[in-house]
Structure 1
Amino acid sequence: MEVLSIIISVIGLIVHLIQKADTSSNSASVSSYRDTTYEVVYEFTEEEKLENMNIDSLNICYKTAGSANFSIEKARRTLLNNYVETDFYIDEIIIRQNCMYIKVLHSIPFKSTNKCYGAAFSINYMTANNRVSVYGSKKINADEEQVFKQIASELIIAVS
């Protein structure tokens, strides 16, 4: 009997709390809007960004082209300043010697508007044969692999 009394009391307390929460949320004043801004709490270093890009997995060559008078810095400026593509956009570029690591935001399928997928690519310049290659990671999904091939094509056109 005592256990039943405790159970009824707990249920009554829960119902009372729910009613109070519902009442307080319905009577909240709309005029008391408080704007909050978000500060950057921590800025990743380039090494941490490269680690997050998982650059060791960028081992599939998606596209290669010849390029005379290639400059990695000129390619970076081209991608950031002059190359505007509506199908994807470049979020980050990090340069290491003759290699450029690029974080791209894109959609699947390629021409869709919701760019909620992130991918990393590397553009490598080989001085021995004046060739530029775009590397990405291996994808199991055929749709994603097709998007990667299209992004690689756009990147190679932009830098060569």
Structure 2
Amino acid sequence: MEVLGTIISVIGLIVHIIQKVNQSSHGDTNTTYYTDTTYAVVHKFTPQEKLDNMNIDSLNICYKTAGISGFSIEKARRTLLNSYVQHDFYIDDVIIRQNCMYIKVMHAIPFNGGNKCYGASFSMNFMTVNDGVAVYGSKKINADEELVFKEIANELIKAVS
């Protein structure tokens, strides 16, 4: 009798294991699984770290200059971040250092393309002596990129005028 009870117990255990294996391989219809897709900010870059990542030393090609009387760098910053809307590119970040504004731009190639997956940095420098504003970017070998940079510089000057 004890042997029969042990056999029934072993068979019951095997059936239970097989059921659990089936549930795990086919999914249990009575259980809902949730995946946590929240992302915590691991590190927030300081303005100095952002400037280091922009590689500001390479911003040495002047793409556009203009004379703008009554220019205010803080007003230009607010204009670019808050109210400047452009379909051809968008401004990701603006950092001010004295009379210079560093601008991170996302754009497309060609200029009016839909996929804004290219990032570029520009500096907008204000020269108090002659009320001049100059937009600098990095040197581009590709003619299409250079044309896009000239268009962006032109739009930046128009926006802050």
Q: TM-score range by the shorter chain?
A: 0.7 to 0.9
Amino acid at match of 1:46: P
- In structure 1, the residue matched to 2:69 is 68
* Aligned pairs for 1:123-138 within 5 A: 123-138=124-139
Q: Give the structure with higher Rg (CA).
A: 2
The gaps in structure 1 that reach 5 residues or longer are: 1-22
Q: 1:89, 1:25 → 2: CA distance? A: 47
Identity of aligned residues (%): 71
- In structure 2, the residue matched to 1:27 is 26
The gaps in structure 2 that reach 5 residues or longer are: 1-21
* Aligned pairs for 1:89-128 within 5 A: 89-128=90-129
* SS of corresponding position for 2:129: coil
- In structure 1, the residue matched to 2:154 is 153
Q: 1:25, 1:115 → 2: CA distance? A: 43
Offset of residue 112 of structure 1: 1.1
Q: 2:93, 2:28 → 1: CA distance? A: 42
Q: CA 1:26/1:64 → structure 2, altered by over 3 Å: closer, same or farther?
A: farther
Q: 2:24, 2:158 → 1: CA distance? A: 55
| 1:99-138: CA deviation from partner (whole Å, max 9, x where unpaired) | 0000001111111111111000000000111110000000
* Aligned pairs for 1:70-85 within 5 A: 70-85=71-86
* SS of corresponding position for 1:147: helix
Which ranges of 4 or more aligned residues in structure 1 deviate by more than 4 Å?
23-26, 28-31
* Aligned pairs for 1:7-26 within 5 A: none
Q: 1:152, 1:25 → 2: CA distance? A: 58
Scaled by the length of structure 1, the TM-score of the pair is 0.81
Q: 2:96, 2:24 → 1: CA distance? A: 51
Q: 1:133, 1:63 → 2: CA distance? A: 6
Cα RMSD (Å) of the superposition? 1.9
Amino acid at match of 2:96: I
* SS of corresponding position for 1:50: helix
Scaled by the length of structure 2, the TM-score of the pair is 0.80
How many residue pairs end up in the alignment?
138
